[in-house]
Structure 1
Amino acid sequence: MSDPTLFRTRPGNRRRLTPAGEAEVERLAAAGERSGWLSPLAYNLTISHSHRFVWYRVAKVATRTIRHHFESHDVTMDVDHAMRIRYPLAAYADYLTFAFVRDPLDRFVSAWHDKVVDNNYYRFEPDQLERMQTIEEFARWTAAQDLAAVPGTDQHLTLQSRMIDLNRVDLLGRLETFDRDFAEVCQRVGAPAVPTAPKNQTAPGGRDRQVSDELRELVATMYRRDYQVFGYSPDRP
Structure 2
Amino acid sequence: MSRPDPELFRTRPGNRRRLTPPGEAELDRLAAAGEKSGWLSPLAYNLTISHGHRFVWYRVAKVATRTIRHHCESNGVVLDVDHAMRIRYPLASYADYFTFAFVRDPLDRFVSAWHDKVVDNNYYDFDPATHARMQVVEEFAAWTATHDLAAVPGTDQHLTLQSRMIDLNRVDFIGRLETFDRDFAEVCERIGAPAVPSAPKNQTAPGGRDQQVSAELRALVTQMYRRDYQLFGYSPDQA
TM-score between both structures, scaled by the size of structure 2 = 0.84
1:166 pairs, out of 161, 165, 168, with: 168
Alignment of 1:47-126 (within 5 A): 47-126=49-128
User: Aligned AA for 1:91?
Assistant: S
1:132 pairs, out of 131, 134, 153, with: 134
Per-residue deviation at 1:196? 0.6
Task: Provide the residue aligned with 2:152 in structure 1.
Answer: 150
Task: Provide the residue aligned with 2:7 in structure 1.
Answer: none
Unmatched 5+ residue regions in structure 1?
1-34
2: CA distance between counterparts of 1:185 and 1:84? 23
Per-residue deviation at 1:36? 6.5
User: Aligned AA for 1:181?
Assistant: D
Unmatched 5+ residue regions in structure 2?
1-36
1: CA distance between counterparts of 2:198 and 2:126? 36
What is the number of equivalent residue pairs in this alignment? Answer: 204
SS at match of 2:237: coil
User: Aligned AA for 1:228?
Assistant: Q
2: CA distance between counterparts of 1:58 and 1:38? 20
Per-residue deviation at 1:204? 3.0
1: CA distance between counterparts of 2:204 and 2:50? 28
2: CA distance between counterparts of 1:51 and 1:150? 28
Alignment of 1:28-43 (within 5 A): 37-43=39-45
Task: Provide the residue aligned with 2:206 in structure 1.
Answer: 204
Identity %: 84
Do 2:177 and 2:206's aligned partners in 1 also have CA atoms closer than 8 Å? no
TM-score between both structures, scaled by the size of structure 1 = 0.84
Q: Alignment RMSD, CA only?
A: 1.2
Regions of 4+ moved over 6 Å: none
User: Aligned AA for 2:142?
Assistant: R
Cα deviations across residues 22-45 of structure 1 (Å, max 9, x unaligned)?
xxxxxxxxxxxxx67110000000
| Structure with max Cα Rg | 1
Task: Provide the residue aligned with 2:237 in structure 1.
Answer: 235
2: CA distance between counterparts of 1:148 and 1:123? 22
SS at match of 2:236: coil
Cα deviations across residues 140-166 of structure 1 (Å, max 9, x unaligned)?
000000000000000000000000000
